[in-house]
Amino acid sequence: MAVALVLVLIVVGSVLFHLLSPWWWKPIASNWGYIDNTISITFWITGVVFAAVVLFMAYCVFRFRHREGNRAAYEPENKRLESWLTIVTAVGVTALLVPGLFVWSQFVNVPSDATVVEVVGQQWQWSFRLPGKDGKLGRSDTREVTADNPLGVIAGDPNGQDDVVVEAADLHLPVGKPVKMLLRSIDVLHDFYVPEFRAKMDMIPGSVTYFWFTPTKTGTFQVLCAELCGQGHPLMNGIVIVDTEQDYVAWLDQQQTFAQLSAPQQTGSAQQAPGKATASALKVAAKLETVGSR
């Protein structure tokens, strides 16, 4: 009797916790409402199945409890029950999988008017690269990474000269414009994740993965790394600021291009490039010190 009661309390407690919990998604700030719907469908199906199975178990524990003289009936096969359970399970599993397939087909089909932004993950900071006026990103190679070329842009590629390099600083995006995020890592597995955008994906050294989304709200959003990537992983934070078109253009005007960063003698920023690289290294060192002192 006590076991049956505990099982019922587990179901009631779980449902109440789900309904009353203060921990829930942050308000969505992208076009991916479909992803929220898919997760809600999964919650409902797994929740109903969990409650049904545990309540059935509680019923059986109570109904078939030990009584003097009672004997269990042995029934090795029951065709009707087996077909019924097979059909219900198949419908449940299909309902769990199908919405995800619809979302995935949209997730990997990037709109033709999407602009491109490259995200580079590195222990333990985020950097970004945007195509310059030519609209094309230059090629890159991890073997080209140096203190003055932190993203490994290939210097000989003319498309890369006007690329805007944002090293270990905030990324700005214009509101309402679809953007394709090209994801690279130059050391270990990372995962670019902004909770309000809902979309995320692993970054794999040697590959370029991608997803797309349209920011729908202006504001400041936190970037998290959703892949355990070493000692400094919990501090691998970044900032994405979604701007109005006007603010975005003003920000873009202040950024430096790859050509400016890699040719300090021509731009008069001789101290700036190495200074920036040193600042970035100090930032990582400070993060590690914080982790070490925990």
203 binds Cu ion, rule: CB under 5 A? no
Give the binding-site size for Cu ion (rule: CB under 5 A).
Answer: 4
236 near Cu ion (CB under 5 A)? yes
Q: Which of residues 40-59 bind Cu ion (CB under 5 A)?
A: none
Minimum gap (Å) between residue 129 Cβ and Cu ion? 18
Q: Residue 168's closest CA among 232, 124, 218? A: 124
Report the candidate in 189, 192, 187 with the shortest Cα–Cα distance to residue 240. Answer: 192
Where b means 16+ CB within 10 Å and e means fewer, 254-279 reads: eebbbbbbbebeeeebeeebeebbee
Identity of the residue, 132 or 200, whose beta carbon is nearer to Cu ion in the bound complex: 200
Beta carbon of residue 225, minimum distance to Cu ion (angstroms, whole number): 3
Amino acid found at 171: L
CB of 250 to Cu ion, least distance (A): 30
Which residues on neighbouring strands pair with residue 201, listed in sequence order? 192
Among the residue ranges 37-45, 131-139, 146-154, 232-240, the one whose residues contact Cu ion (CB under 5 A):
232-240
188: helix, strand or coil:
coil
Options 49-57, 138-146, 226-234, 263-271: segment touching Cu ion (CB under 5 A) = 226-234
Query: Per the structure block, which two tokens stand in for 248?
Result: 């975005």
Q: Which residue number, 186 or 277, has a Cβ lying nearer to Cu ion?
A: 186
Applying CB under 5 A, among 179, 186, 194, 225 the residue interacting with Cu ion is 225
Q: Which residues pair with 178 in a beta bridge?
A: none
CB of 229 to Cu ion, least distance (A): 3
Stretch that binds Cu ion, among 68-76, 94-102, 224-232, 260-268 (CB under 5 A): 224-232
User: Is the CB of residue 244 less than 8 Å from the CB of residue 174?
Assistant: yes
Q: Write out the binding residues for Cu ion, residues 141-200 only, by CB under 5 A.
A: 190
Phi/psi at 273 (5° precision) = -65, -55
Nearer to Cu ion, 190 or 198 (CB): 190
CA quadruple 210, 214, 218, 219: dihedral, nearest 10: -30
Number of C-beta neighbours around residue 152 at 10 A? 16
Rounded to an integer, what distance in angstroms lies between the CA atom of residue 64 and that of residue 88?
25
Q: Pick from 35, 103, 119, 229: which binds Cu ion (CB under 5 A)?
A: 229
Q: Which stretch binds Cu ion (CB under 5 A): 31-39, 60-68, 69-77, 233-241?
A: 233-241
Piece of 131-139, 142-150, 218-226, 243-251 that binds Cu ion (CB under 5 A): 218-226
Q: Does 119 bind Cu ion (CB under 5 A)?
A: no
Report d(CA 231, CA 226) in Å as an integer. 14
Q: Which is nearer to Cu ion, 58 or 236 (CB)?
A: 236
Which 3 state secondary structure label does DSSP give 140?
strand
Q: Which is nearer to Cu ion, 3 or 285 (CB)?
A: 285
CB of residue 238 vs Cu ion: minimum separation in angstroms?
A: 10
Name the β-bridge partners of 203.
190
CB of 19 to Cu ion, least distance (A): 34
Closest CB to Cu ion among residues 190, 287: 190
- Residues 212, 110 contacting (CB under 8 angstroms): yes
Binding site for Cu ion (CB under 5 A): 190, 225, 229, 236
